[in-house]
Amino acid sequence: MKINFSEYENLCTDDRQKTIVSRDKRSDCRHIAQNIIRQNKLRSGVRQYKIDGNIIKAGNKCDYLVLNDDLKTAYLIELKGNKIHDAIKQLEDTLQMMKDTIILFFSGLLTQESVRTLFATTRPLVGKISTGNLQTVLP
């Protein structure tokens, strides 16, 4: 499935947005990523897209996709209020459906370091995960 992202709304209001928030309207679940300043004193160019019900309307799919244009990194994000075991299947299925588009984004080279799969839950989690230029803040 090849996707032309220009046909869909980029949820980031600034291409070097400091904080990228993915929210689930049905629960209190959210994922917050900080676009940290790099050595060149600039934040990375980022884009955020709603996948579930927008880009992919049927089947198992994750909630959001965040693309880091500078680092060529994709973040598939699944938000879960319950049924956490379903998150992995949704992330895997989304990656499989979007593989052709993501490979084009990475100029034909797709590696394990290129795609991050993340899920957030309403269950209490404490800590921070740093992956490349985005930091995942767990409430």
For 106-127, the pLDDT digits (tens) are 665 555 455 665 555 544 333 3
CB 62 within 8 Å of CB 75:
no
Kind and range of the H or E run holding 92: helix 85-105
Identify the band that residue 30 occupies on the pLDDT scale cut at 50, 70 and 90: confident
Helix locations, the chain, DSSP H? 85-105
Evaluate if residue 11 carries a pLDDT over 50. yes
Can you tell me whether residue 95 is helix, strand or coil?
Answer: helix
Q: Which of 102, 75, 59, 98 is nearest to 12 (CA)?
A: 75
Can you tell me whether residue 94 is helix, strand or coil?
Answer: helix
Share of the chain above pLDDT 90, in %: 15
- pTM, whole model, 2 decimals? 0.75
Evaluate if residue 12 carries a pLDDT over 80. yes
Mean pLDDT of the chain: 75
Domains in the chain: boundaries: 5-127
Residue 109 CA to residue 56 CA, distance in Å, equals 23
What is the mean pLDDT of the segment spanning 53-77? 87
Highest mean pLDDT among 9-13, 101-105, 130-134: 9-13
Q: Pairing state of beta strands 46-50 and 127-131?
A: unpaired
CB 17 within 8 Å of CB 42:
no
Which of the pair, 71 or 133, is modelled with greater confidence?
A: 71
Please give the span between the terminal C-alpha atoms of the chain, in angstroms, as a whole number: 34
Residue 52 CA to residue 65 CA, distance in Å, equals 10
